[in-house]
Amino acid sequence: MGFSGRKTLSFFLIFVLVYLYGASSQEAGPAGPRKPFFERLRRLEEQFRRFQEATLTHLQGVASNHNVSWNVDVRFRSLAEESQAVALALNRSQAAVQGDLAHLRAWMRKIERRSRKADSRLQALDLALSKKSELRARERKGQKDVASRLARDVQALRDVLARLSHLVHSQGARLAALEGRLLVANLGTAAPSPAQPERLGPSSLKLQRGRQALRATPEPSSAPQDSAAQPQGTRGPPASGGHQASDGATAALRDPPRPAWTPQRPGERCSGGPVLVFPNASTENVVSLSPGFLTALRALSFCSWVRTASGHLGTLLSYATEDNDNKLVLHGRDSLKPGSIHFVIGDPAFRELPLQLLLDGQWHHVCVLWTSTQGRYWLHVDRRLVATGSHFREGYEIPPGGSLVLGQEQDRVAGGFDSSEAFVGSMSGLAIWDRVLVPGEVTSLATGRELPTGAILTLANATRVGGFVQRADCTCLELCP
């Protein structure tokens, strides 16, 4: 509150005091008769008194407020002093914080320099790694290109080999046919007519004369081997039974040395090798070959002399592993078409081969050939190419380490036999190669010449002959019961 306000308040207080003094002096006078004027005056006095009381109350409130405002000024001054002290403390704190910030800025600059150095090193390492990765990528690309070129070259070679093999087999079949025609032509007028073709049996005198016309007269000591050349369609086993020396044979199939047997009749086919006879369809009739396949096979040749004694062929060969019980199977069931046989490689893939010629109860020479190159396969019966095809298990490998048996079809390794799939008949001269025989080798086998080299399994590898299977030591297969 200012000076002018204080002056006005003092003047007002003096006026009120004077008025109150006058009013009190009037009341002290003698009381006269009351008139209406005095009544009004009395009422005015009462009103004034009440106003006076209200004014005093107001003045007291104003005075107390004046004292409060005075106290507020004091408080404001103390607050100002405190604020100055706080500001001084803040300035000191700010100075300390600025010093700390200066230190932090120095550390930040050092860290930035170090980080820039680390970034430069990382960039150099990244550049070196990228160059190395590019070089490795180029090397891998080059290796892939080389590998792809090699794969293409290998595939081209396989295609060429497949075509050559097919061409060789075709030419072999033609040569066999030409040789048969030449033999028939040398027989003169005794050749059979086309309407009634004569079956040249193993003891045919005509065949003997034709062979003598084409060849020089053999020495007597080589008669069993040289007398084996027969024309297409001749039935009869080879002179040596398709076997090499039987030094590794088991006791059941080992024969003592015998003198050379001289044919008693012209044209006879004789063999010093064993003949396995499966007399009935018992599930016990089985022959096991060991040690089986020692390495994976990408090609296969199976050849054997076969004579069947039932209306279906049954199982010639079965090879099973733990993964698949039909890795390699040549089997026929009594429910199949008579004379048909399934050639299975890695079940369920198979081809049906026509072998109706084998149902006449005579000896026939059978060769089944297969190669994973283009999946080509061939079937030869008595030197003749009966069936061929391609894209059968192309690129497949027959794994090693399985169980190989003759005469039964395995539903599990070395077991699970079924009498309806059993072979009933005789086998001789069986051999297996891990390559595809050429037609000349097939002809050599079918005409009783020497066994082609490289056979991985023969009947000398038979380790178990079970059931009613018998071994016959016939000097000539035609004379076997």
Phi–psi pair at 366, nearest 5 degrees: -120, 135
Q: Which residue has the higher pLDDT, 399 or 481?
A: 399
Query: Mean pLDDT across the stretch 384-411?
Result: 93
Query: Mean pLDDT across the stretch 333-362?
Result: 86
pLDDT tens for each residue of 324-338: 889 999 988 776 778
Cα–Cα distance for residue pair 194/206, rounded to 1 Å: 17
Q: How confident is the model at residue 108 (pLDDT cuts 50, 70, 90)?
A: very high
Query: Mean pLDDT across the stretch 204-219?
Result: 38
Choose from 163-167, 185-189, 221-225 the range with maximum mean pLDDT. 163-167
Query: Mean pLDDT across the stretch 130-153?
Result: 88
Query: Mean pLDDT across the stretch 394-398?
Result: 93
Q: Which CATH number is correct for 170-178+205-213+225-256+269-479, 2.40.40.20, 2.60.120.200, 3.20.80.10, 2.60.40.10? A: 2.60.120.200
pLDDT at 233 over 60: no
Percent of the chain predicted with pLDDT > 90: 29
pLDDT at 25 over 60: no
Percent of the chain predicted with pLDDT > 70: 70
Q: How confident is the model at residue 353 (pLDDT cuts 50, 70, 90)?
A: very high
Write down how long the chain is: 481
Q: Check residue 67 and give its pLDDT.
A: 62
Q: How confident is the model at residue 305 (pLDDT cuts 50, 70, 90)?
A: very high
Nearest alpha carbon to residue 293 among 403, 372, 370, 412: 403
Mean residue pLDDT of the chain comes to 76
Q: Check residue 34 and give its pLDDT.
A: 53
Q: Which residue has the higher pLDDT, 193 or 360?
A: 360
End-to-end CA gap in the chain = 154
Query: Which of 160-169, 220-229, 462-471 is predicted with the least confidence, judged by mean pLDDT?
Result: 220-229
Residue 97 CB partners (closer than 8 Å, separation 6+): none
Cα–Cα distance for residue pair 206/266, rounded to 1 Å: 9
Q: Check residue 225 and give its pLDDT.
A: 33
Query: Mean pLDDT across the stretch 388-401?
Result: 93
Cα–Cα distance for residue pair 465/213, rounded to 1 Å: 44
Query: Which of 265-279, 292-306, 388-402 is predicted with the least confidence, judged by mean pLDDT?
Result: 265-279
Query: Mean pLDDT across the stretch 371-391?
Result: 93
Whether the pTM exceeds 0.75: the reply is: no
Domain spans, the chain = 170-178+205-213+225-256+269-479
Q: Check residue 3 and give its pLDDT.
A: 54
Choose from 60-74, 240-254, 385-399 the range with maximum mean pLDDT. 385-399
